[in-house]
Structure 1
Amino acid sequence: MSFILNIETATKNCSVSIAKNGETIFCKEIAEEGYSHAEKLHVFIEEVIAESGITVQDLGAIAVSQGPGSYTGLRIGVSAAKGLCFALNIPLIAVDTLQTLASKANVSDGKIIPMLDARRMEVYSEIFNADLEVERGIQAEIITEDSFAAYTEKLYFVGDCAEKCKQVLTKENFVFLEEIKYPSAREMSKISFDKYQKSDTVDVAYFEPYYLKDFMMTQPSKKQ
């Protein structure tokens, strides 16, 4: 019997779940414009553990969303996960954020393309087949009317980019599943358990989130 705590903070959705043998038994999450991860994450962790009727000593591993995504959100999630792993002396599992997002699409044909907003017309994207096998790895790309034009089968787009991208990606085989906006720790459960069974873990001391792009801090303009 394996209990895994899953932490997803790569987007505006602050999400935590407890899974038993790959099945989510309790999930707590909230998506807010103001990124309340710092205030909510540890509260959610305590709540999902208590609601699941276990203690932290029952955890076999911690799984965390590795990115790409929000720099601040990823740092908060990874820091919390590392702290728990160090304290409990249990392994850390890194989960592809876009794979988690793609897992929310229940389709039987075509390709699934999870996309997360990277500002302006740029997105973080990956391509999966209907069996959630990777067809093309993660990229940061600028979306144009020619994006994904080489694909003739149905393409199912998920993520928080629908509003800006559907104005450009207008081909008949393009389908936007607009109800699927953010990745959730609920869908991390199966992925993290599969990795746990294969001992596919990362070094707690040296693991860093997959930001994909360098963090850019803007400087306030100086008044003349």
Structure 2
Amino acid sequence: MITKTLRALACASLAVLPLAGAAPAHAETVTLTGGIKALPLAAESREGYQRTAFRHWIDEDHDSCSTRAEVLIAESRVPATIEPGCKVTAGSWFSYYDQLTVTEPGALDIDHMVPLAEAWDSGASQWTAARRQAYANDLGSERSLVAVTARTNRSKADQDPATWLPPAADSHCTYAADWVATKLRWQLTVDQEEAAALNEVAATCGPTPLDYEVAP
């Protein structure tokens, strides 16, 4: 599996790891503001949504480690303690949403940067089950999945930036960039309120480069 770099604490640190084995032809670099403009506007619809439409936390490479475990192992700032069956029992994680260091994996959730319900609203309702599974377990970009405190993840729930931003104001630029890059990677849409909120954040971030790679 791809090893994730430590998520940068500063807003300017916005690099994306390439998907292993993927051709680089789809790699793109834009500014945060340009990335927001590139997202197509569309009304959202949650009709027919079920969380079970996105099969997640699978063991795609059959190494006994689920997607959740892979993220915990990759994002730990020290070598994670792993027991048989790929049970992660200790490590050190930085939850950038609230800028807290966590050493108990049970206190962490793995957040889908763009929540599953939001992805459904924004175009995933038209995808195949296989593509929704790929989205829900995307280890090809360090932005797609992030280990954060359970309380911030559950506070966020399925909200977009129009109604929720991380409690740590210093993380807003990074969060907006991660959100936009994820939507660009998966060719998802935004609604007007969401775009307005993203532009409001971007206006405080300065010239922010944003790299992403379109998902295969």
User: Normalised by the shorter chain, which TM-score bucket?
Assistant: under 0.3
Point out the structure with the larger strand share: 1
Q: Normalising to structure 2: TM-score of the pair?
A: 0.26
Point out the structure with the larger helix share: 2
Structure with larger RCO (C-alpha < 8 A, sep 6+): 2
Please say which structure displays the higher CA radius of gyration: 1
Q: Normalising to structure 1: TM-score of the pair?
A: 0.25
